């Protein structure tokens, strides 16, 4: 099982094959948030496989890039809540 990392606009995604989790972190100038969703309908595999082809608007990123954005959001939440 593997993890896959993608970026679409201001959102960074981690797809976890083992649990079918899609974890997203959004960063922008007016809002910062973290979200978790689980897809049990079979759409997870289709989405992952499609995104791996790098369609327009989707960029494959490294774990390090994803983790850096996650830390930025975490720090923002700690400082502002």
Q: What is the pTM of this model?
A: 0.85
Over range 61-80, report the average pLDDT: 89
3-state secondary structure the chain: CCEEEEEECCEEEEEECCCCEEEEEEECCCCEEEEEEECCCCHHHHHHHHHCCCCCCCEECCHHHHHHHHHHHHHHHHHHC
Q: What is the pLDDT of residues 8-53, one digit of tens each?
A: 998 899 999 998 888 888 877 666 777 767 777 778 999 999 999 9
pLDDT tops 70 at residue 1: no
**Structural domain spans, the chain:** 3-80
How far apart CA 10 and CA 71 sit, in angstroms, is 15
How far apart CA 26 and CA 8 sit, in angstroms, is 10
């Amino acid at each position: 099982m593997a993890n896959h990392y993608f970026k679409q606009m201001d959102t960074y995604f981690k797809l976890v094959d083992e649990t079918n989790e899609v974890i997203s972190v959004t960063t922008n100038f007016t809002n910062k948030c973290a979200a978790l969703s689980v897809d049990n309908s079979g759409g997870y595999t289709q989405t992952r496989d499609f995104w791996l082809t790098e369609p327009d608007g989707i960029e494959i990123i490294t774990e390090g890039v994803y983790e850096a954005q996650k830390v930025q959001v975490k720090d923002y939440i700690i400082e502002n809540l």
